[in-house]
Amino acid sequence: MRYILTILISIIICSWNTIYAEQITVHGRITQDTTWQGNIWVIDNVTVSAGVTLRIMPGTKILFKHYRGYKEPNKRLRIDVLGGNLIAEGTPDFPIYFTSDSDRPQNGDWSMIHIENSDNTRFKYCVIEFAQQGLNIWHSNPLITNSVIRWNNWEGLYFESYSQPIIENCQIYENGYNGLAAEQFNSITIKQSEFYRNGTNGIHIDASTAEIIQCNVHSNLANGISVDDNGLLKIYGCRIYDNMDCAIGYGEGENIVELSNTVLDYQKICGNFKNISSTIYPIEHIEVGFSPDNSHSLNYIPGDKDLDRYRYVYPDYDVTRKVLKKIGEGLGLTWSLTFDGTYLWTATLDGKVYKIAPNNGDIIKIYNTSLVQPWGMTFDGNFLWIVDFAQKKLFKFDPNSGRILDSFETPDPVGGCKGITWDGDYLYLLSWTHPAIYKLDTSGNLLKTIDLKNGGGGGITWDGNYFWVSDSTKILKYDKEGNLVGWIYSASEGTWDLAWDGEYLWASQRTNENWNDAKIFQIQVLNDSLTKTIPEITINGQIGNPNFNYQQPITISISLIPFGMENIEADWWIVAKTPFGVFFYSYFQNKWDSNITTAYQGKLQYISDLDLFTINQLPVGNYTIYFGVDTSRDGNITFEQLFYDYIEFIITD
């Protein structure tokens, strides 16, 4: 026992500031033309202001401080270019890297590069890797050439709303969703680029136009190229082969596909197309002009259920909420959700509407509809109301017959709406492009716009007194004037829609879009107060239930966010449940004890990623380590005032 306790009290306190003191660090708003060169550590979000150019010189490495939790989403860092320009032009010998700062990087370590309203952004000889989404571009016209975009959670390249990019001589591979996606009225030109081993489609065109010239699109886990929602594809001299589904897949609407001199290698085109003549022919190999560093290769496609280390689904319990049930396995991504007093209703990617038993997820009824993107539904006591994001319309739907009875345009004809709820008298639609709720009567007349003072966008429901609105990794609680009155954490990445059954929240969760797991969660609200304390404990920077070899060092770290409770006196607790007993850790005495003892007694304060101790050569078995605080400060665990988090792990031989 003495040997075990000696192992447990080996402490390594590590200061992040000391590690980075000698490095060039950046954060905050850039308000004048700026040049980056060398190794640049991004330690907080960076915003490039309107009219300002951020220029990145050849050979520069942009290293984002990595974050792998879910309770502080702002710590997953990003660069926002809002009306300015980002010019990142490397050379074949000195490419530019946008990457994680971890010595063991993984997909999702940082957020994205977001470009909005930019006319002169350029990427040349760049590598963008290990983000949630590589490039996220709205209303902009970037030039992207000779670049590699890989190992990102979602899309490598994502274009939204009236963008006109040119992509040339690029390789886009091993991204979790589409290699490239363009949604809502973009005009895309792609030349001599390669899209392969992406988690869904190589290229996805939705309500947009794409001209694809001499590209190789292969080995993607869905279609090579997909077109949806009245999209237009013009494909010249491409090679499309070895994709899991179709060479070209078709979604909803009147999609137009024109082909010239395209080699399919026996893959089928799953819809109508027109052959056209041209003098453009396929090329065998795509050259980006340099060889990127592969020393941290993922060796899997993000979303791999066995190998991916990213946490798509959060723990079932935290201080704010508890997941009671998960249903809907096999439905795929469910875009909308409501409760009719007895049953749940949802809608899926293919426009089908489902009536589901909430107790076990059994499907009671299925309706095939003409809906394209049913991004929200509600029940008014007699009828379903379904908002279609793509058609920018609200539909009145008979749940008994499956017939659409009426329709009218949503209040925002450009940005669209996502999410709808009913308060017993009126309909409330949630805007997609800005945080606002539109109050409507059942004839579609706009009665009021409620601005949400603390953001939000996605799903919405009404619980009889308040709105619940999804936002990033939180579900926000608002009154009817748009004032934030509470919040809880989401149960997974991406909350698409919400419902209220009279006692519990239901959430349609994205988890990972490519998984057929149960995505409809029943959630008990535990503490939605604006004033609460959020502890978090991680192991080697991870949340979840990892396994470790007994020779592998593991570092336990804690964070504490005292929302409105700063400086309150509290007992702090660190407790280890081990195969050989339960032990309490005393921080200042640097020891573990089988007797109940506090780790610390003192005021609550913000702590970010404090490394408590590093352990190795633990005996084989199951372990749980708890970190909590209670606001009684009496040396006893007062459960009524306790906020805690825990992590489970297994030591193997």
Q: What is the pLDDT of residues 611-639, one digit of tens each?
A: 888 888 889 999 999 999 999 899 888 88
Q: Is residue 13 part of a domain?
A: no
Which has more confidence, 126 or 607?
Answer: 126
Same domain as 431, residue 522: yes
Same domain as 522, residue 387: yes
CB-based contact 489:474 (threshold 8 Å): yes
Same domain as 331, residue 279: no
What confidence tier does 379 reach under pLDDT thresholds 50, 70, 90?
Answer: very high
Phi, psi of 312 (to 5 degrees): -80, -35
- Which of 16-30, 359-373, 526-540, 619-633 comes out lowest in average pLDDT? 16-30
Q: Which of 56, 41, 54, 35 is nearest to 110 (CA)?
A: 41
Same domain as 538, residue 514: no
Residue 545 is predicted with a pLDDT of 64
What confidence tier does 372 reach under pLDDT thresholds 50, 70, 90?
Answer: confident
Same domain as 103, residue 196: no
What's the pLDDT tens digit per position in 410-434?
A: 998 878 899 999 999 999 999 988 8
Same domain as 552, residue 468: no
Percentages helix, strand, coil for the chain (3-state, rounded to 5) are 5, 50, 50
* CATH code (residue 648): 2.60.40.3880
* CATH code (residue 400): 2.130.10.10
CA distance 558 to 14: 12
User: DSSP 3-state assignment of 2?
Assistant: helix
Among residues 263, 285, 307, the one where a domain terminates is: 285
Q: Is residue 483 part of a domain?
A: yes
Tell me which residue range forms the domain holding 226. 188-285
CB-based contact 597:584 (threshold 8 Å): yes
Cα-Cα-Cα-Cα torsion 190, 191, 192, 198, nearest 10 degrees, comes to 0
Among residues 101, 133, 153, the one where a domain terminates is: 153
Among residues 526, 553, 568, the one where a domain terminates is: 526
Q: Is residue 328 part of a domain?
A: yes
What confidence tier does 4 reach under pLDDT thresholds 50, 70, 90?
Answer: very low
Token code pair at residue 245: 């589904």
Q: Which residues partner with 429 through β-bridges?
A: 420, 438
Q: Is residue 23 part of a domain?
A: no
Hey, which bits of 139-254 come out as E strands? 143-145, 148-150, 157-160, 166-168, 171-173, 180-183, 187-191, 194-196, 203-206, 209-213, 216-218, 225-228, 232-236, 239-241, 248-250
* Per-residue exposure over 313-347, b if at least 16 CB sit within 10 Å of its own CB, e if not: bbbeebbbbbbebbbbeebbbbbbbbbbeebbbbb
What rounded mean pLDDT belongs to the chain? 92
Hey, which bits of 219-348 come out as E strands? 225-228, 232-236, 239-241, 248-250, 256-260, 274-275, 321-327, 334-339, 344-348
What's the pLDDT tens digit per position in 53-103?
A: 999 999 999 999 999 888 888 899 999 999 999 999 999 999 999 999 999
Token code pair at residue 562: 């005292």
Residue 18 is predicted with a pLDDT of 35
CA distance 494 to 472: 7
Q: Is 391 left (phi over 0), alpha (psi -120 to 50) or beta?
A: alpha
Type and span of the H or E element at 81: strand 78-82
Residue 2 is predicted with a pLDDT of 29
Mean pLDDT on 403-416:
90
Same domain as 510, residue 572: no
CA distance 2 to 575: 18
Mean pLDDT on 495-507:
98
Q: Is residue 140 part of a domain?
A: yes
Token code pair at residue 227: 């077109």
CA distance 437 to 421: 10
Q: Is residue 11 part of a domain?
A: no
Same domain as 349, residue 254: no
CB-based contact 80:46 (threshold 8 Å): yes
> How many domains is the chain built from?
4
Q: Is residue 160 part of a domain?
A: no
Same domain as 579, residue 647: yes
CA distance 237 to 249: 18
Model pTM score: 0.87
CA distance 482 to 450: 6
Strands 393-397 and 384-388: antiparallel
What separation in angstroms does the CA of 83 have from each of 70, 280, 418? 29, 36, 25
Same domain as 360, residue 243: no
Residue 539 is predicted with a pLDDT of 86
Token code pair at residue 523: 């959630």
Same domain as 556, residue 487: no
Residue 390 is predicted with a pLDDT of 84
Same domain as 346, residue 429: yes
Cα-Cα-Cα-Cα torsion 228, 110, 536, 8, nearest 10 degrees, comes to 130
Written as one letter, the residue type at 471 is D
Q: Is residue 636 part of a domain?
A: yes
